[in-house]
């Protein structure tokens, strides 16, 4: 597979020791990205959530039990399995910043990408979106409304990236050298514990660059070689261990 190298690589580091599973990121993401509300939400095979908070368990009995929450956006993989399988090039990773795009008008709804994504980060619009009467007045004008039949996924709030670059240009700053505050996705912005940190993984002035190198940092299914731009960290060994398919006697990363 050909891998494009980027000067700027937007990424997240999610501190799983801070996430309380409150769900604010999920709601903020829906509102920001014009995802229509549904009346039935607990059957996760039917819902459409670019950001989804998973519940993890250490598998032990009470009182040794421990629980953690894992928010899962799109990993914006360095080697995205999704884009390589797309027959119509509706999803690509070619823009500086390393965000994997999703071009809805091109998507033919074949859903190969959904099968290919190891993180279940992609969703299919089985139906046309419906907002209760009047609620469409709250649609965010920075994101489009997707019809039935197309696949969609987290874009790191790409429209915010575009706006940040535009603003930098207007102010005569280098759009390829944004500050951390210039561009923050909706979920990151609202998280009440500050569990999610966002920035350019290649910029040593950004917090993520350092955090991603922490000995407690890991990525999901790292050994698949998808090279995600989303990192997680936890001081809890069992949490790190669940991030990848470790063999029983193998040492966990960070130990």
Partner 1 sequence: MGLDRRGFITFLVGGAAGTLFTPVPWKLLDDVSIWSQNWPWIPKLKYGAKGVTPTTCKLCPAGCGLDINTVGKRPVTAEGNFSHPLSQGGICPLGAAAVQLLYSPARVKGPLKNNGGKFESISWDEAKKILAEKLSTQKGSGNVALISGDENGTANEVLAAFLAALGSSDYYFMPSDATAYATAWNKIMGGQGQIGFDLENSDYVLMLGADLLSSWGTVVRNQKAFGQKKGQYIYVGPVQTGSASVADKWVPVLPGKESVFALGLAYYILKAGKTCSAKGFAEFKEYVLTNYTPSKVQALTGVPANDIKKIAAELIAARRPVVVSGSDFGQGSGSLDMVAGIFLNLLLGRLNQPGGLVALPSVQAVDKAPDLNQLRQNSLINFISDVQKGAKRPDVLFIYEANPLYALPQGAQVASVLDKIPFKVSFSTFLDETAAKADLVLPTPHFLERLDDAYTPFGAGAVTYSVSTPVIKPVFDAKPTPDFILELAGALGVDLGISSFEDVLSAKAEKLGADWEELQGGQAYVGDKKVFQSALALPTQILSGGLKMPSSEYPIYLAPVARPYIGNTKLATPPFGVVTIRENELKGKDFYVHLNKATAKKLGLKQDKKVKLVSAAGQCKALVNITETVMNDVVAAPLGFGHTAWDDFSKGKGDNVFNVLTVTQEKPTGLYVWNNSQVKVVKA
**Contact call for residue 53 and ligand SF4 (CB under 6 A):** yes
**Contact call for residue 42 and partner 1 (CB under 8 A):** yes
Cα dihedral 18, 20, 24, 30, rounded to 10, equals: 90
Least spacing, CB of residue 109 vs ligand SF4, in Å: 15
Whole-angstrom Cα distance, residue 173 to residue 181?
14
Whole-angstrom Cα distance, residue 225 to residue 113?
17
Least spacing, CB of residue 163 vs partner 1, in Å: 10
Whole-angstrom Cα distance, residue 149 to residue 74?
20
**Contact call for residue 222 and partner 1 (CB under 8 A):** no
For residue 23, the number of C-alpha atoms closer than 13 Å in the C-beta half-sphere is: 3
**173 or 227: CB nearest ligand SF4:** 227
Residue of 69, 123, 216, 231 that binds ligand SF4 (CB under 6 A):
69
**Contact call for residue 86 and ligand SF4 (CB under 6 A):** no
**49 or 81: CB nearest ligand SF4:** 81
| Contact status, residue 98 vs residue 10, Cβ threshold 8 Å | yes
Neighbours of 33 (CB within 10 A): 23
Whole-angstrom Cα distance, residue 94 to residue 234?
31
**Contact call for residue 65 and partner 1 (CB under 8 A):** yes
Residue positions counted in the chain: 255
**Contact call for residue 186 and partner 1 (CB under 8 A):** yes
Which tokens belong to 63? 């009182």
Whole-angstrom Cα distance, residue 211 to residue 94?
25
**Contact call for residue 224 and ligand SF4 (CB under 6 A):** no
**Contact call for residue 217 and ligand SF4 (CB under 6 A):** no
Neighbours of 70 (CB within 10 A): 19
Residue of 4, 88, 126, 213 that binds partner 1 (CB under 8 A):
88
**Contact call for residue 76 and ligand SF4 (CB under 6 A):** yes
**Contact call for residue 92 and partner 1 (CB under 8 A):** no
Provide the 8-state DSSP code for 189.
Answer: H
**67 or 176: CB nearest partner 1:** 67
**Contact call for residue 211 and ligand SF4 (CB under 6 A):** no
Spatial CA neighbour of 242 closest among 77, 114, 67, 79: 67
Residue of 11, 71, 97, 98 that binds ligand SF4 (CB under 6 A):
71
Residue of 40, 171, 248, 255 that binds partner 1 (CB under 8 A):
40
Positions touching ligand SF4 (CB under 6 A) are 19-25, 53, 69, 71, 74-77, 80-82, 100, 117, 119, 121-122, 153, 191, 193, 195-196, 226
């Amino acid at each position: 597979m050909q891998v494009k190298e980027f000067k700027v690589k937007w990424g997240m580091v999610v501190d799983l020791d801070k996430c309380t599973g409150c769900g604010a990121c999920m709601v903020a993401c829906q509102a920001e990205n014009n995802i229509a509300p549904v009346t039935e939400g607990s059957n996760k095979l039917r819902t459409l959530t670019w950001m989804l908070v998973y519940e993890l368990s250490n598998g032990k009995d009470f009182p040794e039990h421990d629980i953690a929450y894992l928010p899962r956006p799109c990993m914006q993989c360095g080697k995205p399995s999704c884009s390589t399988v797309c027959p119509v090039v509706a999803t690509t990773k070619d823009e500086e910043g390393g965000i994997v795009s999703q071009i809805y008008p091109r998507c033919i709804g074949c859903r190969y990408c959904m099968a290919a994504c190891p993180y279940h980060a992609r969703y299919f619009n089985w139906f046309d979106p419906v907002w209760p009467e009047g609620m469409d007045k709250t649609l965010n004008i920075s994101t489009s409304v997707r019809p039935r039949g197309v696949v969609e996924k987290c874009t790191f709030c790409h429209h915010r990236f575009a706006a940040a670059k535009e603003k930098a240009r207007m102010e005569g700053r280098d759009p390829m050298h944004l500050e951390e505050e210039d561009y923050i996705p909706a979920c990151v912005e609202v998280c009440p514990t500050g569990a999610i940190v966002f920035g350019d993984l290649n910029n040593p002035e950004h917090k993520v660059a350092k955090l991603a190198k922490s000995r407690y940092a890991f990525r999901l299914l790292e050994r698949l070689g998808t090279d995600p731009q989303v990192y997680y960290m936890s001081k809890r060994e069992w949490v790190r261990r669940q991030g990848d398919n470790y063999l029983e006697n193998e040492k966990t990363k960070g130990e």
